[in-house]
Amino acid sequence: MAGRYRLIEPLGSGGMGTVWRAADRVLGREVAVKELRGPAELAGPEREAFTLRTVREARAAGRLNHPGVVAVYDIFEDCGHPWIVMQLVRSCTLGSLVHDEGPLPPRRVAEIGVQLLAGLQAAHAAGVLHRDVKPDNVLITDEGRAVLTDFGIATLEDDSPVTRTGTLVGTPAFIAPERASGGSAQRASDLWSLGVTMFLAVEGRSPFQRGNALATLAAVVYDHHGPLLRAGALAPVIDGLLAKDPARRLGGAEAESCLRAIVEGALPEHASVPTVPRPAAPPSAQTLPVVSVPAQRPSAPPSAPPFVSPSVSPQARPGTPGATVPGPALPVRRSRRWNLAAATGALVVLVGLAAGGMAYLTAGRPPGGTVPGVSTPTVTVFRIRSTPPAPEDESRPAVRPPGDPADEPGRQRPTRPHEKKDKAERGNSGKGLGAGE
């Protein structure tokens, strides 16, 4: 190939091509040659774009010179597709190691993480993003050193992308949420992929792998990664790297500091360490208190405080599940008239519910104007009246419970308080306002 490389044997193959062990007859050394065939459906302009991108990305990887990154020596085109010549590393992949030996000890995974972080930071400093960090692209040498390989889909941060429209480049289970949601790759995206790789290495399973690619991408965007049962002191680092929001994700320097502490024994292997402080998360449905009070509109007239169901615990506080937003304090009146008014208000609520004339809120059907993002309300709130209670020196009409004989058909309509004051003073005589009025 290209007048100098003789293919000896295949070392592995995948959807994009085959990696060969080859001999460089010019320099007299063995190398790895990656044959990049690309997707079979590519043709015409798309095939040309694929070749152009491969050449560009191989050149990007060729800019790197770090012991934690497999070196790229050459690139050429033959048989209608590109070939990349790389450093031959006698090793096995991290994926095959976990498959054969099971989950690795936390300290060993921390050591691998430190070495991979060093390679990624060198790439990022050169403006190169990997975009496909995963266990099968991590080589474990015979000496136990971790080396990052396959920058075949790497990209330069300052280059315009050359990809097919709508194509998502990378392995679904290891793609960062911002990329799975249609965003562009960034340095934090590589750190997310490193976190998933470390999760698999220490737990022995992929946190987001599902039955198909679409379900896997949905899990990446929406699902939590699940419990870390074997990680020990490594758990806070992985948690930090797997923050959905890249702005809150653990940075490379912070992650390296924590991992080195585990490797050097400053932290017990199976102990937990404090989580690195991150900026506060924006409010979400998981962090907001459960509220069932409609949002106040500027044009709405002031109203009296709502009546709260007595099933609510008096210890509930705003910010805890099941709490309501406190309204203005009700005036405390310890007179007999106030107690009568409170009982009257409760009966109004019951009568209103029976007649279907009172609005209510439920968890399944929030009305318009509810607080955005808040779900599962546990408190039902009713508005008793739109005006304050009458002063104590005024007469109060009595309220009969449903089923009072005065409600039967044929009964004379009771006189309202303003029509005849002496009837309003009868209190609970059964001649007050009816439920239907």
Residue 31's alpha-carbon distances to 2, 9, 13, 26, 58, in angstroms, are 14, 11, 16, 12, 15
Q: Coil, helix or strand for 59?
A: helix
- For residue range 316-339, what is the model confidence (pLDDT) as tens digits? 334 434 433 344 443 444 444 444
pLDDT digits (tens, 9 = 90+) for 78-110: 888 889 999 999 999 999 999 999 999 999 999
User: With a cut of 50, which residues of the chain have pLDDT below it?
Assistant: 160-166, 273-411, 413-437
Q: Residue 340: which residues within 8 A CB-CB, separation 6 or more?
A: 396, 427
CATH numeric code, 1-88? 3.30.200.20
| Alpha carbon separation from 52 to 32, 158, 198 (Å, rounded) | 21, 16, 33
Element (H, E) at 155: strand 155-156
Distances from the Cα of 144 to the Cαs of 89, 103, 112, in angstroms?
Answer: 12, 16, 9
Cα 389 → chain centroid: 48
Choosing from 74, 132, 404, 407, which is the catalytic residue?
132
Distance CA 382, CA 294 (A): 11
Provide the pLDDT for residue 350.
40
- In this prediction the pTM is 0.60
User: Is the CB of residue 271 less than 8 Å from the CB of residue 232?
Assistant: yes
pLDDT at position 88: 95
CA-to-CA separations, 124 to 103, 114, 136, 238, in angstroms, rounded: 29, 15, 20, 20
What is the SS3 assignment for 250-308?
A: CCHHHHHHHHHHHHCCCCCCCCCCCCCCCCCCCCCCCCCCCCCCCCCCCCCCCCCCCEE
Query: Range(s) for CATH 3.30.200.20 in the chain?
Result: 1-88
34 annotated to a ligand binding site? yes
Q: Supply the pLDDT for residue 254.
A: 95
The fourth-level CATH superfamily of domain 91-159+169-279 is Transferase(Phosphotransferase) domain 1 (1.10.510.10)
User: Can you tell me the distance from the alpha carbon of 261 to that of 107, in angstroms, rounded to the nearest whole number?
Assistant: 10
Task: Please report, in angstroms and rounded to a whole number, the separation of the first and last CA atoms in the chain.
Answer: 96
Dig out the tokens for 219 from the structure: 């899990």
**Residues whose CB falls within 8 Å of the CB of residue 197, separated by 6 or more in sequence, listed in order:** 94, 116, 133, 134, 135, 138, 174
Distance CA 374, CA 180 (A): 26
Listed in order, the ranges of the chain carrying CATH 1.10.510.10 are 91-159+169-279
Cβ(194)–Cβ(250) below 8 Å: no
What integer pLDDT is reported at residue 168 of this predicted model? 55
Other C-beta atoms lying within 10 Å of the C-beta of residue 59:
13
Active site residue 223: no
